[in-house]
A and B are shown apart, each in its own frame.
Chain A
Amino acid sequence: MDSLTTNPFLLWLAISVAVGALAWTFLRNELRTRAILYSSFLVACFVSMWPLQEKLKLGLDLKGGMHLILKVVTDDALRATVSDGVSLASSELGRAGMPGAKVMGADIDTFTVEGIEPARAKDARTTLKDFFLSTEWNLNETPAGFSLKLTDPYKRVLKEQTVQESIRTLERRVNVLGVAEPVITAHGSTGDQILIQLPGVTDVVRAKDMIKRTAQLSLKLVENEASTREMLLAPGQTEPPPTMEIVTGAGSEPGTRAFYLVRKEAVITGRDLKNARPSISPETGLPDIQFSLTPTGAQKFGQATGDNVGRRLAVILDGTVESAPVINSRITDSGVIQGTFSQEEADTLAKVLRAGALPATLSFLQEQTVGASLGRDSIRSGVLASAAGMGFITLFMLFYYRLSGVNAVVALSANLLILLGAMAYAGATLTLPGIAGIILTVGVGVDTNVLVFERIREELRSGKTVKTAVNNGFDRVWITILDTHATALIAAAFLFQFGTGAVRGFAITLVWGLVANVFASYFVSKFLFEWVLGERKADTLSI
């Protein structure tokens, strides 16, 4: 029901079916029922597409903007997991009374444990088995000790998580840019690519910087928290004092958003961090992140936390507050970030803090930027070419088929109306090749009309009455129209597989155009003939 009320197209579709059913019940007249059904459907399309400028999304090639394909170096995630494994194994083996164990990374997905006394091998094995799940790690005995290798399913999970986390991080960064309708999705068949589309972005350099930059973590002292920005400002002021700034993010209550007034100067930043790893808080049992600081970082942090016990400290990542815990005591070389993290989020945040802001390195595979005026030029030429083509076709049909030509032009207009309505409804993007697709749709639409009209003429020549000729014309041509449209749809479906960008826009218009065409150039056109010929006894047909 929700989609019915929010979506004008579906609403109108429902109304038109209802109206059609009512008309049939009361009128018992097939022609009038069809008239009502068709026209309410066309009204639905009109409602869906109007106003066109707002409803139809323009592609990057027309609007200007940028399109990036990035590759996530998922091997980074494997390396990080192995290095976590190394530190966990050595500390746990040490705690189990085997401090002499030598644990080191052997390969991108493997680490080894050596130097265990033969007598303790069994204990070491038990310890390792306890801390390294068999679904994640394959534990093998080697001549020198043990080796632990990531399992293939777990590697896949890690890679997938890395890509998903990278997407989330990129979304956070792109949001800072304030782009309307950005697209950030996984891309391609290899599973490690991300597509970013930023329509209308003109400041390409800034956008790319935003995406590429690393580690933007800072911890800042909180002055005040509120649910709106205005509540944080002094009366009559529109900006915070020069030493302060306002940032948004997670509120103190789980699941809420809040505004924070914080000191502009950061207590520490990502650079002061030495290491970070996920853990479980002994007090709350919730996942958190333990971090350790560099010597200079520890000095700064110790000073600031010592002076501000009882106040809150905002953990700001890429401009968004992740949490704002209270400082309980002076913290020097290590601390804990508590928040409402899931285990997975804590893992990622730790990785992010360690590696920079992204869980893995990104490399750029493809970049496309289109200047806004070049886009405008393209629209102008595309529309000009379409208008020229359509104008010519209209004139020709009117000239050659006379009144039946009017029928064809009405059908063509209905075709375009349905095509644009469906595209607006589906949120499809119009690209420059898409405009070309519309022209081809018009071509195929005309072909349907011509096929029918020529057949009607043939029937008339062989001496049939007007009504019989029209009926036979439409009947005989139906199979041909079905076959031609089906094969064209097959071609369009494969075009659609081409992935993103301009070609997909073309395939979309082609598919919708073909469907619209069967309705408009066959059914609407047939109805128009029957309606005009319906009441009176026609001897001649203007065709």
Chain B
Amino acid sequence: MLEILKNPNFDFLGKTKYFLALSALIILGGLGFMLGTGMYLGAGARGYGVEFSGGTQLIIKFEKTPEIDRIRSAVAEATIQTYDAPAKNQVIVRLAAADETNLDEAANRAKAAIAASYPENRIIESSAEIVGPTVGADLRQKAVQLTVWGLVFQLLYITWRFGGAIWGAAATLAVFHDVLVALAFLAFFNYEITLNVIAALLTLVGYSVNDTIVIFDRARENLKLKKKDPLEKILNDSLNQTLTRTLISNGTTFLAVLGLFLFGGEVLRGFGFTMVIGILAGTYSTIYIASPIVVWWQKRQAGRVPSA
């Protein structure tokens, strides 16, 4: 039998406060960074993909290596960058908000201008994403609503299954932590929030709850077996008992999404990045956020009702 760890017995819950401090640092740092740089937060925030902010995004594939400066001079009002691997001769052109009365006008004008000023380098193919302001605003609202409802239903489910709101609340707070940490890192590394990133965040919500449930389930089982042990010890034992599983399962999934991040191409990069951070955060939060909350709550209740 090949084993990573033999009878692990770490004192996870004894060092909670250091890790809480670390989480607070990342989350507050992230929020501060977002406000300071105007990303994601506040009115007129930047950092949203075209599907949320509205606007025009063109991906143009040229015959030969494109000279960014020449394209820039053809369409002055646009941001232009190389897209994907340089050998693919692709550039991404972003234009400000699209006009709903004539949605593709800006895109066509930009394409025509590039083709006219750059005749020796033919455009082979182009992709376009043009989003009017209505759809963008709708989608933003929907994303927030769906995430919140998803969390509420998970909270209800866990509360029902574990017979106590504190388990559900702890798992949900851990999920909030993970989403905020993922957002902080997305901001630090200057990622755009696209639909794919939202999909990754929602997946992360499911994944993080998953991880917490595995350990809570074990604690539920241990609570029945060892009624005398304090909850803190039971949770710590449960964390140790499931530690190998945590390492293997989360480790393999982590490597799979790392593969997505590294080899998944430009479209999946944001998704991969969010999942990479999210799986790390989800594993960490089960141990250092969800479990301590349950212990803390139980101690508080015990303090209030000493005879229990």
Cα A381 to Cα B262 in complex, Å, equals 10
Given contacts A432-B268, A436-B271, A454-B244, contact A488 B206 (CB under 8 A): yes
Nearest CB on B from A287, distance (A): 35
Nearest CB on A from B298, distance (A): 21
Cα A216 to Cα B244 in complex, Å, equals 69
Please tell me if the beta carbons of B135 and A366 are within 8 angstroms of each other in the complex.
Answer: yes
Cα A433 to Cα B196 in complex, Å, equals 7
Nearest residue (CB) in B for A484 is B210
Cα A497 to Cα B148 in complex, Å, equals 13
B217 within 8 A of A: yes
A396 within 8 A of B: yes
Task: Give B1-36 interface residues, CB cut-off 8 Å to A.
Answer: 1-3
B255 within 8 A of A: yes
A contacts with B: majority SS? helix
Given contacts A392-B252, A491-B209, contact A543 B146 (CB under 8 A): no
A385 within 8 A of B: yes
Q: How large is the interface on A (under 10, 10 to 19, 20 to 34, 35 or more residues)?
A: 35 or more
Q: Which residue in A374, A460, A490, A503 is a CB contact (below 8 Å) of B127?
A: A374
Cα A370 to Cα B130 in complex, Å, equals 12
Please tell me if the beta carbons of B263 and A384 are within 8 angstroms of each other in the complex.
Answer: yes
A368 within 8 A of B: yes
Nearest residue (CB) in B for A494 is B150
B128 within 8 A of A: yes
Cα A484 to Cα B101 in complex, Å, equals 47
Task: Give A410-459 interface residues, CB cut-off 8 Å to B.
Answer: 432-433, 436, 439-440, 442-444, 446-447, 450-451, 454, 457-458
Please tell me if the beta carbons of B271 and A446 are within 8 angstroms of each other in the complex.
Answer: no
Given contacts A490-B206, A502-B195, contact A385 B214 (CB under 8 A): no
What A residues does B244 contact at CB under 8 A? 454
B contacts with A: majority SS? helix
Given contacts A368-B128, A381-B268, contact A480 B88 (CB under 8 A): no
Cα A363 to Cα B150 in complex, Å, equals 33
Please tell me if the beta carbons of B256 and A367 are within 8 angstroms of each other in the complex.
Answer: no
What B residues does A495 contact at CB under 8 A? 146, 150, 199, 202-203
Nearest CB on A from B271, distance (A): 6
A284 within 8 A of B: no
Task: Give A480-521 interface residues, CB cut-off 8 Å to B.
Answer: 480, 483-484, 486-488, 490-495, 497-499, 501-503, 506-507, 510
Cα A29 to Cα B263 in complex, Å, equals 48
Task: Give B74-130 interface residues, CB cut-off 8 Å to A.
Answer: 84, 88, 90, 100-101, 103-104, 124-130
Task: Give B210-248 interface residues, CB cut-off 8 Å to A.
Answer: 210, 213-214, 217-218, 221, 241-242, 244-245, 248
Cα A369 to Cα B59 in complex, Å, equals 10
Please tell me if the beta carbons of A385 and B264 are within 8 angstroms of each other in the complex.
Answer: yes
A100 within 8 A of B: no
Please tell me if the beta carbons of B104 and A364 are within 8 angstroms of each other in the complex.
Answer: yes
Please tell me if the beta carbons of B157 and A393 are within 8 angstroms of each other in the complex.
Answer: no
Cα A390 to Cα B103 in complex, Å, equals 42
Please tell me if the beta carbons of B252 and A443 are within 8 angstroms of each other in the complex.
Answer: yes
Cα A370 to Cα B266 in complex, Å, equals 14
Cα A160 to Cα B268 in complex, Å, equals 38
Please tell me if the beta carbons of A371 and B61 are within 8 angstroms of each other in the complex.
Answer: yes
Cα A266 to Cα B242 in complex, Å, equals 79
Please tell me if the beta carbons of A389 and B259 are within 8 angstroms of each other in the complex.
Answer: yes
Nearest CB on B from A442, distance (A): 7
Nearest CB on B from A438, distance (A): 10
Please tell me if the beta carbons of B206 and A491 are within 8 angstroms of each other in the complex.
Answer: yes
Interface residues of B (CB under 8 A from A): 1-3, 51, 59, 61, 84, 88, 90, 100-101, 103-104, 124-132, 134-135, 138, 142-143, 146-147, 149-150, 153-154, 157-158, 161, 195-196, 198-199, 202-203, 205-207, 209-210, 213-214, 217-218, 221, 241-242, 244-245, 248-249, 252-253, 255-257, 259-260, 262-265, 267-268, 271-272, 275
Q: Lowest 3 CB-CB distances: which A-B pairs, in order?
A: A381-B265, A491-B206, A389-B256
Show 9 residue pairs from A and B whose CB-CB distance is below 8 angstroms, ordered by the A residue: A367-B129, A368-B129, A368-B130, A369-B127, A373-B61, A380-B265, A392-B259, A446-B253, A480-B217
If A365-B103, A443-B252 are given as contacts, then 4 extra A-B residue pairs at C-beta distance below 8 Å, sorted by A number, are A371-B126, A490-B153, A495-B202, A503-B196
